[in-house]
Chains A and B, each alone.
Chain A
Amino acid sequence: DAGVIQSPRHEVTEMGQEVTLRCKPISGHDYLFWYRQTMMRGLELLIYFNNNVPIDDSGMPEDRFSAKMPNASFSTLKIQPSEPRDSAVYFCASSSGDRGGEQYFGPGTRLTVT
């Protein structure tokens, strides 16, 4: 299996622009998680899905952030408009309920907003 795939790996954009991060989970996994990692705040859970349905989005910082999972093999995290404080590494992870919650992380997308 190729593991969790994220794209792009690096994104540099200007403040005010829309940013879309993409994730392909491991085939057969029914949970998908979006995390943000910064030096100041560490690793934060933004939102997670079960069977393509958002279960908990309490970590989404504000309305500028949105996440979708149109099917079992694809999810997006969108920031519109982006701000410099959104600069971080964004990780996607997936897991299977049958495995007792072990999460497999993607390599992350490093976002820089100037």
Chain B
Amino acid sequence: AQSVTQPDIHITVSEGASLELRCNYSYGATPYLFWYVQSPGQGLQLLLKYFSGDTLVQGIKGFEAEFKRSQSSFNLRKPSVHWSDAAEYFCAVISGTYKYIFGTGTRLKVLA
């Protein structure tokens, strides 16, 4: 069965430090992968997506993610974190026709 694992429930980084959020998926075919961000009290906003082609994808707000088929991973990165990046981040894979499977989320805290 398809699944998405985000191993880190909470991550704390200092402002200006680099960030990597992990995501592993289980899916038989070539996956469609997404990263969403949810600020407190808000809905989810798409950061970036991977369908095919270049395995390094760029998103909004300075985020990028790299698809590694051999590791079944789609980790999210940002070279320098801003205090406004504090939020919850969700990785997702599409199962079949547009049915998302979400990970459990990683809550990011940014220290000033």
Contacts and interface: CB of A to CB of B under 8 A. Distances in A.
A108 interface: yes
Interface stretch (B16-24, B41-49, B66-74, B75-83): B41-49
Given A42-B105, A101-B32, A102-B34, A91 B44 contact: yes
B104 interface: yes
Interface of A: 4, 31, 33, 42-43, 45, 48, 50, 55-56, 91, 93, 95, 97, 100-108
Contact of B98 (A43, A91, A97, A106): A97
Contacts of B32: 100-101
A105 B45 contact: yes
A83 B43 CA distance: 24
A21 to B, nearest CB: 14
Interface in B24-48: 32, 34, 36, 42-46
Given A100-B32, A101-B94, A107 B42 contact: yes
Q: Which applies to chain A's interface (DSSP): helix, strand, loop or mixed? A: strand
Nearest to B102: A43
A105 B98 contact: no
A31 B43 contact: no
B100 A103 contact: yes
Given A100-B32, A101-B94, A101-B98, A42 B43 contact: no
Interface in B85-104: 90, 94, 97-100, 102, 104
A102 B46 contact: yes
Contacts of A104: 46
A48 B45 contact: no
Contacts of B99: 45, 48, 56
| Most-contacted residue by chain A among B49, B98, B102, B105 (CB, 10 A) | B98
B102 A95 contact: no
Contacts of B42: 107-108
A97 B96 CA distance: 12
Contacts of B36: 105
| Most-contacted residue by chain A among B32, B36, B97 (CB, 10 A) | B97
Given A42-B104, A91-B44, A102-B34, A55 B97 contact: yes
